[in-house]
Structure 1
């Protein structure tokens, strides 16, 4: 049995898709707390053994057996969350409780960290665990992920009980099907699609940083199916425990992404530049690019889709279909 927290979220539900469709596994327990009225549809195409509310999981685990792994994707993922007490409870304490259960019961543990831990990228985007304590996130969400990374590494250093295999994945800018419930926090790919259909143009932020033209802010965009494939690879292969980047290793401009969306619709690109919201000033990453050498050294050699190929699959096989869910 595989437990997936955040299993009704974008990454969690596509991990379940991979397990169902690629590996033929249905022995999955989905855990989440669905607040958006349409998010349940992320589960409509999935085959799984049970669904639990997030508060039901820990009591359920006390009597559970034959758990192959806990894949912990559940979290408050909004970079704009201002209530740090919520971040502590959902992103730190809940993760610590699951880690401790996995350590006690000798169950592999996979969790979602974030590229937000790298802050402004001044120290690069290298998943070197020895440099974890030197990173400076730009927002509370990023810090909550940073805190848990530090805590996990401290358990290892202190010789405390740890899960037999554990992996923290620093996801970069993930886009793709089943993100429709994320609203403001959805990817630029989805916003571009919606804006173009409604207004005939895509809105991108103007640059407020010297050296970056409007629309040329750079991010490492990774397709959600590729992100899920990495998680399942480590689930099955049991590589070296630690923290790993999940990106493509190639930064691309927001302008490239928006253009790819419009071209996937066979339309002439049109982009309008708008001012960045005030609450993002000073907390906005202008460049992210995952260093992928550690993942390659761990034996993951499957190629990642190019931005154009990933966007094309997303737009043509999901966003323009009557049923856009994966």
Structure 2
């Protein structure tokens, strides 16, 4: 991947997509084609000051690609409907499954490498573990329509005889960091906890409804967004074996750890209140996720990940307290 190559990024106005745009700009990549719906005004600051060639509405992307053959050399497909509380599968089928299938077909037909966003939501309750082996994919039982749509595309991709020259589907775990400010309910716990501390001096966490876990001891693999985009770019540059790759740290931490890291960064005593998990997500709630990172490490990715404390400290001090974007 050279600085003069043209790179298409879908979901470019969203959280991870806009961070990737900024990251690539800082690395000297300006020939970017940005695709998104661009209709949500809250997303506008995500692209402020960033350098790119053109913005294309997601609904017009395939017409644009047809009208611009050979223009794009790489595709990062990060666009999706990511609302895990959206229960209408047709929304996810259209935006996550069918849209991705169409983009895959373009990449395969034109020999364009493709890195796309899958999700740890595909692992469901974790009854089959969190290992990104391809033979496990067909056994997974996601807990919501979003996870189902992501897993359906993963399964479909593995079955395709015609493929891009390189492709990687990244199973994102709990990503946090700057540029997520527009996500509302779906923003990270860190984002919500910081704002709650600023307004009330305390944080509310979900009470455990599982006998094996104490309140606040539910466990997640939290990964800082900078680590996520570094993995995306590394895969595109080094192109190991095609397939699915976990994108976490491999070290799960509790929500209590996370909140205490925020209080520590703000130099405040921890003040946590536990509340019932909402009924609409209680029976689909994951109590433990931890990425098995063996495959990515074996592929040659050796960069260290931010610890939870390091990521929280940078997010809070550099971005949340200043309102900055990357």
TM-score tier, shorter chain, comes to over 0.9
Over aligned residue pairs, what C-alpha RMSD do you find?
0.9
- Which residue of structure 1 aligns with residue 28 of structure 2? 24
- Which residue of structure 1 aligns with residue 3 of structure 2? none
- Is structure 2 residue 306 aligned with structure 1 residue 314? no
For residues 60 and 37 of structure 1, the distance between their equivalents in structure 2, rounded to whole angstroms, comes to 23
For residues 9 and 319 of structure 1, the distance between their equivalents in structure 2, rounded to whole angstroms, comes to 17
| Aligned equivalent of 1:33, options 34, 37, 46 | 37
In the TM superposition, structure 1's runs of 4+ consecutive aligned residues that sit over 6 Å from their partners are: none
- Is structure 2 residue 228 aligned with structure 1 residue 227? yes
> How does 1:68-107 map onto structure 2 within 5 Å?
68-107=73-112
Displacement of 1:37 after TM fit?
A: 2.4
For residues 255 and 34 of structure 1, the distance between their equivalents in structure 2, rounded to whole angstroms, comes to 36
- Is structure 2 residue 48 aligned with structure 1 residue 44? yes
- Which residue of structure 2 aligns with residue 325 of structure 1? 325
SS at match of 1:107: coil
- Is structure 2 residue 271 aligned with structure 1 residue 270? yes
- Once the two structures are superposed, residues 127-149 of structure 1 have per-residue CA deviations (whole angstroms, 9 ceiling, x without a partner) of 00111100110110000000000
Aligned length: 320
For residues 292 and 41 of structure 2, the distance between their equivalents in structure 1, rounded to whole angstroms, comes to 37
- Which residue of structure 1 aligns with residue 158 of structure 2? 153
| Aligned equivalent of 2:65, options 49, 61, 68 | 61
For residues 162 and 223 of structure 2, the distance between their equivalents in structure 1, rounded to whole angstroms, comes to 33
Moved more, 265-274 or 282-291: 265-274
For residues 126 and 150 of structure 1, the distance between their equivalents in structure 2, rounded to whole angstroms, comes to 15
Which segments of 5 or more consecutive residues in structure 2 lack a partner in the other structure?
Answer: 1-5
- Is structure 2 residue 300 aligned with structure 1 residue 299? yes
- Once the two structures are superposed, residues 254-295 of structure 1 have per-residue CA deviations (whole angstroms, 9 ceiling, x without a partner) of 111111112111211111111111111111110000000000
- Which residue of structure 1 aligns with residue 193 of structure 2? 192
For residues 296 and 22 of structure 2, the distance between their equivalents in structure 1, rounded to whole angstroms, comes to 22
TM-score, normalised by the number of residues in structure 1: 0.97
- Once the two structures are superposed, residues 60-91 of structure 1 have per-residue CA deviations (whole angstroms, 9 ceiling, x without a partner) of 00122231111100000011111111111000
SS at match of 1:26: coil
> How does 1:124-163 map onto structure 2 within 5 Å?
124-155=129-160, 160-163=161-164
For residues 186 and 83 of structure 1, the distance between their equivalents in structure 2, rounded to whole angstroms, comes to 20
